[in-house]
């Protein structure tokens, strides 16, 4: 009687464990969900708003060379670097690569402008 119970127990376990494992694997998503970082949406919006404000300021100062335009250019450069850091942390996929490439080009352009016209 004990032998029949042990054989039935192991047969039952032998059927249940693989079935449960198979169902768990089928229920799991094929790809893990992207990691949601808290505050990223707000930080990205804030960074882009700061860049837009600096662009507007640069347009008003553009015709007048001098220390004011150099300071504004340096501040704009700083905002671009901050926006690039937030983008690198918060975005993924093709959008991330496209935005980082654009921001890198803008940073390089501003760095060259600062080197050329500000001492």
Q: How far apart are CA 105 and CA 90, in angstroms?
A: 19
- pLDDT-derived band of residue 30, with 50, 70 and 90 as boundaries? low
Instruction: Give the pLDDT of residue 65.
Output: 75
Query: Would the pLDDT of 38 be above 80?
Result: yes
Span 84-100, pLDDT tens digits: 999 999 888 888 899 99
- pLDDT-derived band of residue 83, with 50, 70 and 90 as boundaries? very high
Alpha helices in the chain (DSSP H): 2-27, 40-61, 67-90, 93-117
| 32 Rama sector, left if φ>0, alpha if ψ -120 to 50, beta otherwise | beta
67-90 and 40-61 are packed helices; what angle lies between their axes, rounded to 10 degrees?
Answer: 160
> DSSP state, 62?
T
Mention every residue, 6+ apart, whose C-beta is less than 8 A from residue 65.
117
Query: Would the pLDDT of 28 be above 80?
Result: no
Alpha-carbon dihedral 115, 49, 99, 118, rounded to 10 degrees: 0
């Amino acid at each position: 009687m004990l032998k029949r119970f042990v054989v039935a127990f192991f047969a039952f376990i032998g059927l249940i464990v693989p079935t449960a494992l198979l169902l768990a694997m089928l229920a799991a998503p094929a790809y893990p969900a992207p990691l949601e970082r808290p505050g990223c949406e707000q930080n990205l919006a804030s960074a882009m708003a700061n860049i837009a404000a600096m662009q507007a300021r640069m347009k008003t100062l553009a015709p007048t060379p001098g220390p004011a335009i150099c300071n504004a250019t340096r501040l704009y450069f700083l905002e671009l670097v901050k926006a690039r850091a937030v983008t690198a942390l918060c975005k993924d996929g093709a959008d991330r690569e496209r935005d980082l490439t654009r921001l890198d080009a803008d940073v390089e352009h501003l760095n060259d402008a600062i080197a050329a016209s500000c001492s």
